[in-house]
Amino acid sequence: MSIDLKTIKHISKLARISVDEQRAKKLADDLNSIFDFIEKLNELKTEKVEPLTSIAETTLKLRSDEVKSKNIREQIIKNSPQNNEDYFVVPKVIE
């Protein structure tokens, strides 16, 4: 696949981006090199290669779910902008 100046101008018009002639030539060269690299990647034989979820072949360490801070409700409620002893008051967001 090859990208020419006409295609670059068309894409820039669709995207409503002004691109001068020099920048359009640079974009065309860059896009053509990207497409060339994609074509090289498409030539690779990957039938027997399993997909990776991560480069590091490690698993996450599991830990027990423990409560570390107990009975701090009063400390949290003190930070509320309005005094209320039951819950944290915030301004209304939706009308």
Spatial distance between the Cα atoms of 6 and 29, rounded to a whole number of angstroms: 13
pLDDT values of the chain reduced to their tens digit, one per residue, 95 residues: 789 999 999 999 999 999 999 999 999 999 999 999 999 999 999 898 888 877 887 888 898 988 888 888 888 888 877 777 777 777 788 87
**HEC per residue, 1-58:** CCCCHHHHHHHHHHCCCCCCHHHHHHHHHHHHHHHHHHHHHHCCCCCCCCCCCCCCCC
**pLDDT at residue 24 in the model:** 93
**pLDDT at residue 30 in the model:** 95
The pTM is what?
0.50
Q: Thinking of the domain 5-42, which architecture would CATH place it in?
A: Orthogonal Bundle (1.10)
Spatial distance between the Cα atoms of 51 and 49, rounded to a whole number of angstroms: 6
**pLDDT at residue 42 in the model:** 92
**Tokens representing residue 59 in the block:** 């698993």
